Each structure stands twice: as structure tokens, then as C-alpha cells.
Amino acid sequence: MFHPWIAQRTTTFDSSGIRKVFDLAAQMKDPINLSIGQPDFDVPEAVRQACIDAIQSRKNSYALTQGVPVLREKLQRQVDAEFGHADRKVFVASGTSGGLVLVMLSLVNPGDEVIVFDPFFVMYQPLVSLVGGVTVLIDTYPDFRIDLNRVADAITPRTKLILLNSPANPTGVTATTAEIEGLAKLAAEHKVALVSDEIYRAFCYDEPFLSPARFNDQAIVIDGFSKSHAMTGWRLGFVHGPAAVIDAMVKLQQYTFVCAPQPAQWAGAVAMDVDVSQYLDQYRRKRDMLYEGLQDVFELVKPGGAFYAFPKAPWGSGSEFVTEAIHNRLLIIPGGIFSQRDTHFRLSYAADDAVIERGIEVLRKLAQR
């Protein structure tokens, strides 16, 4: 609804189509819900208890904007051990989404170009618009692989930033070593910022996770606890990169999010020592169950990570197929929300096995109608 007070920047994008599906789910009785992009396991007990202990010991005030030392210093030691860069600093953000907002505000001027790979996480393009940037989309269909030549051709004097997400939402595809190293070196060669959204790094099923920061000491990494430890509602992320960039982001956090919740930060320090490999094994098995159940009737790239699959609709558009699925009480997300193309749909296998099996049954029936 139009109102004369509303700022023009808010009209450049719509509400998330994912939220609309969530709203629909709340109204349906016993839906087959394969739409939710969050783990179906609970926050580990030790982490929950650490948060309770922090609250009970009255650690409930504002935290330092850059993060409480018990977590920030522990993260810094971990990052230093992994990368060994002389100039790599960490701060604690209010979720990875908060980190994404701050990196855009800190780096992108009006008119700057940001390279994004299509399909993309729903937040990327609206955030670029919000800060006055220009999104330059690079199509990765049909196999969702990064063509480095296309990236090189897309770089102009106005390019400020390249945004990488691997393992990726919505496709579940994990970039290869050659893609990651090539992208890192290309960004360094052209003096372009490379931002790596690594929120799904704990969910790599076939090969170890690899960050572009291994090949580019100026890469900016956004990570957090939401997916690895099911802490989506706790709003606890972190960012690391060159000190000058991190200092700018911390300054902006002071005037926006202020800080991440203090009790959650104490819990995050405990979470760093919690073994979550059991969840990786469970989700690898769920991935295999879903892929084996659909790959003979759908055009589907096998996901290498995260907990999503991105099949091509076997008939009609992605939106038309999703509409029919919803009529069958199956909740999935139309691919056009994540892309310029409306040919695919996203489903999440972060669900109980019985729900996944019911979803496979409905999808096979719809594909073969």
C-alpha cells in the first residue's frame, strides 16, 4: 500500500516470497513442509545451558560493539590458525544477515556494481539496491557452476564487490577448488572486494570446505552459528577480513544493530567446542534420500552442501509447478524468488525423514501427471 512518507529505496524490491510461503504454512493443516531454510534439530544442550547461565549470571547488558572478548578472541585465534594472515580481524555481528547489511553499507557507494551469481540468496539483490548499488547478475544455469571468463568479462571500472555463497542457497551446489581459487585471484588482480558468505560451511558432504580467503588475504568472510548449531533465532554471526574494512563495519554496527545479544555470545563461545559432525552425517543421508528419490524424474544437480535442492520444474514455470504442489499440501519455494528465471523450485531437506518421504511421493506424482 502506497503512503507518501515511505522512502523510495523501499520500493525497489518486494517482500520475501519465502515469507509468504511461511505465512501460508501457518494456515495449513499438516502441510508437507520442505520450504524452511533452517535446521530441524535443536540447539545443542551445552549451548542452551551456556545461554541460560549467562542470563542467570546477569550478562544481559549491552556487549562491546565488536563482540564480547570471550567469543571474539576465541574466533580470532581460530581464524588466525586457519589463514595465518597478518591483517585479518574478526568482529561479532548481529547474525550473518547483519554482517551482509554492514558489508554493503561499508563498501558500496551509489552506482557501484556488485557481481552476484544467479541463482542467489534472496537478500543479496535487495541489499545492493538499498545502498544504491547496481547488481550485475551472472547466470550459472544449468549446472550452477562459475564461469571465470564470464566473471572477468563482467568486471568494469565500477565493479566494487563480488559476492560468493558456497555451499549455496538455493542450489546446494558447492564451488570447486578451481572456481574458488580462480575467483579469489581474479578479485585480487582487479582490486575488487570478494565477500564470501560461508554460513553453510559446516554442511559439505563430499569434499572439505574451502574458503576463498585461502587464496586472497583481502577476502571478507561472513559466517555464523545459525545453521551449524540451529541458532537461527539467536542472531549471532561474525565477520573477518582486512582490519580497515572490519573497523568500518564495527563503526556502522554501533549506529545500527549496536551489538549481538550478549547471552548468545557467551553461548557462542561454548558452541565453538561442540561437535556437530552427527548433524552433517544426518543431512548427508537426507541429501542422498532426496536425490535418489527424485533424480530419475527431475532435472536435478546433486547438492554438495547446505540443505537445499533446486530441481527444474518438469512442466510449466517454476511458479506454476509450486502452485500445484501447494494444492497438494506440499510447501516448496518458486525458483523465481532467487533468480531472473522462473524455471526451477527450491526445497529444503532440513526436515524429518517421514516428511521428506511424503514430499518425494507428491513430487513424483506431480512430475508424472
Specify if 2 maps to a domain: no
For residue 208, give the CATH number of its domain. 3.40.640.10
Distance of CA 60 to the CA centre of its chain: 28
35 and 58 fall within a common domain: no
Range of the domain at 182: 46-271
Question: What per-residue confidence (pLDDT) applies to 14?
Answer: 76
- The list of the chain residues with pLDDT below 50 reads none
CB 299 within 8 A of CB 219: no
67 and 116 fall within a common domain: yes
70 and 20 fall within a common domain: no
Helix (H) or strand (E) holding 46: helix 45-56
pLDDT in tens, 176-219: 999 999 999 999 999 999 999 999 999 999 999 999 999 999 99
253 and 342 fall within a common domain: no
The tally of domains found in the chain comes to 2
Question: What per-residue confidence (pLDDT) applies to 116?
Answer: 98
260 and 293 fall within a common domain: no
Specify if 69 maps to a domain: yes
99 and 223 fall within a common domain: yes
pTM of the model: 0.94
Last residue of a domain, one of 271, 300, 323: 271
Question: What per-residue confidence (pLDDT) applies to 22?
Answer: 62
225 and 86 fall within a common domain: yes
Strands 113-118 and 330-331: what pairing?
A: unpaired
Question: What per-residue confidence (pLDDT) applies to 27?
Answer: 74
Amino acid identity for residue 304 in this structure: G
Task: Please choose, from the candidates 108, 321, 304, the residue with its C-alpha nearest in 3D space to the C-alpha of residue 208.
Answer: 304
